[in-house]
């Protein structure tokens, strides 16, 4: 049973008006293009080109190095300038292929394979894998792995995450408005993989036009329904989305497949469609460039690997000095200190703000108000977990379900004492996860 | 690249609610009751209020000097001072009121680590400290210049009380406890601004009504029950003291348990105890039980079963 919402959550200023009415605009990179070999969760891809090679857009430049790994494709034509570590948005140095863009944008011929109706399950999955598709909502988990649960017959729901609950982000919204038939087409392909599954397009109800459009497109489809979920952050978080659309619950140690669900983001599903029907690998994505420090906020269709600084330039540069630039949304994105880093398969947005609310507010002592408890979608007690994390009290942290935190940021947002709760819990989780791996 | 670009962990936005804002809202919500207290008891009530607030703020300020950390600006001392004043009779000697303020801040709050660390409501603890130390001065109530019993004491003695007067507040009692209308108006403001919710006041009041109805010896007599509800600081306690963030359980289920406990304890103190009062002691006792209540009402994480087991 769909619940259409979940317990907890917050309603931050959503900022979507800045860019939601701007149609997707194609932009082509001018300078060098950088492809980190690790744009996904799992083993980094292995380069199959060498310095000096000339490559075309759509040509494979790195192959997958294991089951949980995907290939990387060139998004422009040019010569391989170097294969060396480069800085990525998180600040890490990651081995990358650097392409000297010849600005001719010559492309390989994309050859669609057989129509999906004639393809076997394994063929479809292999094709998705070969196209280099990963979860494009931000996590970057290889899609073919998600689509290969132990018992595909036990999957009841294929859910497309159309919530886009992060403030400011409008890339999924534009995609749904402009290419809804590709989204529905992609979902139909995914449904072919799971014979007993029903398709759900889960949209937040602040996008009535998308809901209307998708409902109209799927009127004839008995196997697909559109669900209008309550607008609330983090409605698009996987666990909350599954609960809101099916009433089923999973915790941090379970996979969606454990409750018969497979969840994919809008852009990912469109990428599946393009891979199967058009034979195109994943070389571009939609990125929202927005924020009050951006001259002309809008949505771009970006060749993956384009530098963020080019995106800002294409959006008219900065108006006013940005105090904080974020890769992704304001709730879960990364603060950037250098714009000369490449966009990747998981880049959803570039957000530039003239004012940083975090450094403007001094954290104070916890007054035990309980707002974090009410806001926490994971139903834990963030203020206490942050205390345990601060004292590094591992036992208390685990006993109080610290590992169930999904790092959505609701507690830090809502805290009147402005304590960095999410940050503390997140650091502790990271340490414990690393310890567990050992 | 801009030198001003700031880097921090997510999330990058913050809500507008601040500790100061919450404290300010509580002060504002107490204004109707304070105003009525001054109207009902005269200008001396204002003097008591000002002396108590000055005492709490000054104590916090001096302690801050000693610890080299100013915390006066969070306004919590103002709230404590005001709440304490509203819990004092208007005739109290001013030095006693000031002493109460010092006790509330120094002994109950700062020595335990300051804001957020005290395990008892400072204002209530100070009231009880004064009540035990100076019982006569703390129970010398007057109204319209007549000294007299509070309505609850009269009720307990078997006398008739005027419930209408209790609701408007034209009775004997402490400065801020008498007017139900003024207190409920302030409480509504706090409810609407989301500073408090009905979990604790609601379960407290409902439990108390049921308890007095069953054990009060007068059945569910509306006049008796409304007198019990309107009298003896129940409204002040339920909406402004029991809801004190620091000293109530943080778990949602725990808040219901806390409210029910307070309702039962208040009923026991009022019906079976020697005095007519019980709200202050009930809340203080409840405060002491908070760690226990929190432990047994630990929420089940999303997708997990209670008791920490994974679903």
Domain boundaries, chain B: 19-296
Q: What is the mean pLDDT of residues A262-269?
A: 95
Beta bridge partners of A224: A199
Q: Which of A414, A418, A342 is nearest to A374 (CA)?
A: A414
For domain B19-296, which architecture applies? Orthogonal Bundle (1.10)
Write the residue in B13, B245, B308 that is nearest to A330 by C-beta. B13
Among B120, B128, B238, B226, which residue's Cα sits nearest to residue B177?
A: B238
Residue percentage of chain B with pLDDT more than 70: 95
Query: What digits encode the pLDDT tens for the residues B56-100?
Result: 999 999 999 998 888 888 999 999 999 999 999 999 999 999 999
pLDDT digits (tens, 9 = 90+) for B107-142: 999 999 999 999 999 999 999 999 999 998 888 887
- From A300, A325, A280, select the one nearest A128 (Cα to Cα): A280
**pLDDT, averaged across chain A:** 93
What Rg value do the Cα atoms of chain A yield, rounded?
21
B311 has a pLDDT exceeding 70: no
List the one residue out of A85, A84, A301 whose CA is nearest residue A182: A301
Of residues B11, B245, B300, nearest to A330 (C-beta): B11
Q: Per-residue pLDDT for A183 more than 70? A: yes
Give the single-character DSSP code of A120.
-
The pLDDT of residue A125 is above 70: yes
Tokens of B216: 């009060």
Tell me, what's the pLDDT at B25?
97
Residue B2's pLDDT band, with cuts at 50, 70 and 90, is low
At B144, the pLDDT band (50, 70, 90 cuts) reads low
Chain B within 8 Å of A258 (Cβ-Cβ)?
A: no
Over residues A394-415, the pLDDT tens digits come to 999 999 999 999 999 999 999 9
Report d(CA A234, CA A9) in Å as an integer. Answer: 6
Contacts of A151 (CB under 8 A, 6+ apart): none
Looking at every residue in chain B, the average pLDDT score rounds to: 91
Nearest CB partner across the interface for B246, out of A239, A334, A368: A368
Looking at the complex, report in whole angstroms how far the Cα of residue A20 sits from the nearest Cα belonging to chain B: 20
Which tens digits make up the pLDDT trace of B11-62? 999 999 999 999 999 999 999 999 999 999 999 999 999 999 999 999 999 9
Question: Minimum mean pLDDT among A120-124, A220-224, A429-433, B139-143: which range?
Answer: B139-143
Helix residue spans in A194-234 (DSSP H): 208-217
> Is residue A358 within 8 angstroms of chain B, CB to CB?
yes
Return the pLDDT at B147: 59
Report the pLDDT value the prediction gives residue A160, as an integer from 0 to 100. Answer: 96
Q: Do residue B250 and residue A370 have CB atoms under 8 angstroms apart?
A: yes
pLDDT at position B143 over 80: no
Residue A368 tokens read as 């035990």
Instruction: With CA atoms as reference, report the closest residue to A163 among A256, A41, A286, A263.
Output: A263
Q: Is the pLDDT of residue A297 over 90?
A: yes
CA B106 to CA B66: how far, in whole Å?
12
In this predicted structure, the answer to whether residue B240 has a pLDDT above a threshold of 60 is yes
B11 closest CB neighbour out of A254, A380, A409 = A409
Q: What pLDDT, on the 0 to 100 scale, is given for residue A381?
A: 96
Greatest alpha-carbon span in chain A = 63
In this structure, is the dihedral angle defined by the CA atoms of residues A393, A396, A397 and A403, taken in order, positive or negative? positive
The answer to whether the CB atoms of B301 and A401 lie below 8 A apart is yes
Measure B132 CA to nearest chain A CA, in Å: 29
Query: How far from the centroid of its chain's Cα atoms is residue A202's Cα?
Result: 15
For the stretch B149-157, contacts whose Cβ atoms lie closer than 8 Å and that sit 24 or more positions apart, written own/partner, are B150/B231, B150/B232, B150/B276, B150/B277, B151/B227, B151/B230, B151/B231, B151/B232, B152/B227, B152/B228, B152/B231, B152/B232, B152/B270, B152/B276, B152/B277, B153/B275, B153/B276, B155/B224, B155/B227, B155/B228, B155/B231, B155/B276, B156/B270, B156/B276
Structure token pair of residue A179: 């290419």
Among the partner residues A239, A250, A367, nearest to B116 by beta-carbon distance: A367
Q: What is the pLDDT of residue B153?
A: 83
Instruction: Provide the ipTM.
Output: 0.91
**A414, B17: Cβ pair inside 8 Å?**
yes
The half-sphere exposure of A174 on its side-chain side, counting CA atoms within 13 A, is: 26
- Residue B147 neighbours by CB distance under 10 Å: 10
Instruction: Give the pLDDT of residue B277.
Output: 80
Token pair for B75:
């306004």
> Best interface-test mutation with B: which of A332, A365, A408 has the largest number of B CBs within 10 A?
A365
User: What average pLDDT does this structure show over A307-330?
Assistant: 93
Interchain contact, B12 vs A353, CB within 8 Å: yes
DSSP bridge partners of B151: none
Contact A353, A336 (CB under 8 A): no
Residue A225 pLDDT more than 50? yes
Chain A residues whose CB is inside 8 A of the B13 CB are 12-13, 167, 330-331, 357-358, 413
Mind listing the domains of chain A with CATH numbers? 116-277 (3.40.50.11540), 371-437 (no CATH)
Residue B209: how many other CB atoms lie within 10 Å: 18
**pLDDT confidence of residue B307:** 56
Q: How confident is the model at residue B152 (pLDDT cuts 50, 70, 90)?
A: confident
d(CA B123, CA B241): 8
Q: What's the CA gap between B128 and A417, in Å, rounded?
A: 30
Tokens of A69: 């790994």
Q: DSSP alpha helices (H): ranges in B117-198?
A: 122-133, 135-138, 151-156, 163-168, 180-192
- CA proximity to B84, closest of B73, B72, B74, B96: B96
A95, pLDDT greater than 70: yes
Q: Is the pLDDT of residue B290 over 60?
A: yes
Run of H or E residues at A265: strand A261-265
For the segment A319-323, the average pLDDT, to the nearest whole number, is 89
- As given in the structure block, the two tokens for residue A98 are 């650097």
As a whole number of angstroms, the distance between CA A124 and CA B226 comes to 73
Kindly tell me the sign of the dihedral angle through the C-alpha atoms of B67, B129, B234, B33. negative
């Amino acid at each position: 049973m769909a619940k259409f919402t979940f317990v907890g959550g917050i309603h931050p200023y959503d900022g979507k008006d800045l860019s939601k009415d701007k149609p997707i605009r194609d932009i082509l990179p001018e300078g060098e293009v950088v492809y980190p070999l690790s744009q996904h969760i799992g083993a980094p891809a292995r380069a199959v080109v060498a310095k000096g090679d000339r490559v075309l857009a759509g040509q494979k430049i790195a192959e997958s190095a294991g089951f949980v790994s995907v290939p990387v494709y060139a998004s422009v034509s040019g010569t391989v300038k170097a294969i060396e570590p480069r800085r990525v948005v998180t600040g890490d140095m990651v081995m990358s292929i650097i392409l000297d863009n010849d600005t001719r944008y010559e492309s390989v011929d994309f050859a669609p394979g057989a129509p999906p109706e004639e393809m076997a399950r394994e063929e479809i999955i292999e094709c998705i894998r070969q196209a280099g598709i990963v979860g494009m909502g931000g996590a970057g988990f290889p899609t073919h792995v998600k689509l290969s649960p132990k018992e595909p017959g036990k999957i009841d729901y294929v859910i497309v995450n159309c919530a886009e609950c992060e403030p400011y982000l409008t890339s999924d919204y534009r995609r749904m408005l402009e290419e809804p038939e590709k989204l529905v087409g992609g979902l139909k392909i995914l449904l072919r993989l799971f014979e007993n599954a029903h398709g759900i397009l889960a949209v937040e109800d602040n996008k009535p036009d998308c809901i209307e459009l998708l409902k109209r497109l799927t009127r004839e489809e008995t196997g697909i329904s559109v669900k209008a979920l309550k607008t609330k952050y983090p409605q698009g978080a996987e666990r909350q989305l599954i609960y809101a659309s099916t009433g089923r619950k999973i915790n941090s140690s379970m996979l969606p497949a454990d409750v018969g669900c497979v969840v994919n983001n809008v852009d990912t599903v469109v990428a599946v469609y393009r891979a199967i029907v058009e034979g195109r690998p994943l070389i571009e994505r939609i990125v929202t460039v927005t924020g009050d420090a951006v001259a002309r906020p809008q949505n771009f269709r970006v060749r993956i690997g384009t530098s963020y600084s080019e995106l800002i330039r294409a959006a008219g540069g900065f108006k006013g000095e940005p105090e904080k630039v974020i890769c992704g949304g304001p709730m879960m994105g990364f603060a950037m200190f250098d714009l000369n880093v490449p966009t990747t398969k998981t880049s959803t947005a570039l957000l530039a703000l003239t004012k940083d609310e975090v450094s403007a507010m001094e954290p104070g002592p916890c007054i035990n108000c309980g707002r974090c408890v009410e806001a926490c979608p994971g139903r834990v007690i963030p203020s206490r977990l942050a205390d345990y994390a601060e004292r590094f009290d591992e036992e208390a942290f685990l006993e109080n379900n610290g590992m169930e935190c999904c790092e959505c940021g609701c507690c830090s947002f809502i805290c009147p004492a402005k304590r960095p709760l999410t940050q503390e819990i997140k650091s502790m989780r990271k340490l414990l996860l690393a310890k567990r791996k050992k | 690249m801009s030198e001003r670009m700031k880097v921090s962990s997510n999330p990058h936005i913050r809500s507008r609610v601040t500790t100061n804002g919450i404290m300010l809202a509580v002060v504002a919500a107490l204004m109707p009751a304070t105003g009525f207290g001054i109207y009902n008891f005269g200008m001396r009530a204002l003097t008591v209020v000002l002396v108590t607030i000055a005492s709490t703020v000054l104590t916090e300020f001096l302690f801050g000097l000693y610890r080299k950390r100013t915390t006066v600006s969070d306004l919590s001392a103002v709230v404590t001072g005001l709440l304490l004043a509203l819990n004092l009779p208007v005739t109290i000697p001013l030095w006693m009121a000031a002493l109460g303020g010092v006790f509330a801040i120094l002994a109950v709050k700062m020595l335990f680590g300051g804001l957020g660390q005290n395990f008892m409501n400072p204002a209530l603890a100070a009231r009880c400290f004064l009540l035990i130390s100076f019982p006569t001065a703390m129970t010398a109530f007057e109204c319209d210049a007549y000294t007299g019993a509070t309505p609850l004491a009269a009720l307990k003695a078997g006398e008739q009380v005027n419930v209408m007067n209790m609701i408007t507040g034209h009775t004997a009692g402490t400065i801020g406890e008498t007017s139900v209308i003024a207190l409920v108006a302030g409480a509504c403001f706090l409810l609407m601004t989301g500073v408090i919710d009905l979990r604790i006041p609601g379960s407290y009041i409902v439990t108390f009504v049921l308890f007095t109805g069953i054990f009060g010896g007068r059945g569910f007599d509306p006049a008796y029950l409304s007198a019990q509800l309107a009298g003896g600081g129940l409204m002040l306690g339920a909406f402004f003291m029991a809801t004190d963030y620091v000293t109530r359980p943080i778990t949602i289920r725990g808040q219901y348990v806390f409210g029910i406990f307070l309702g039962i304890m208040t009923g026991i103190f009022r019906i079976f105890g020697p005095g007519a009062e019980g709200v202050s002691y009930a809340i203080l006792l409840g405060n002491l039980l908070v760690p226990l209540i929190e432990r047994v009402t630990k929420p089940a994480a999303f997708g997990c079963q209670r008791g920490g087991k994974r679903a």
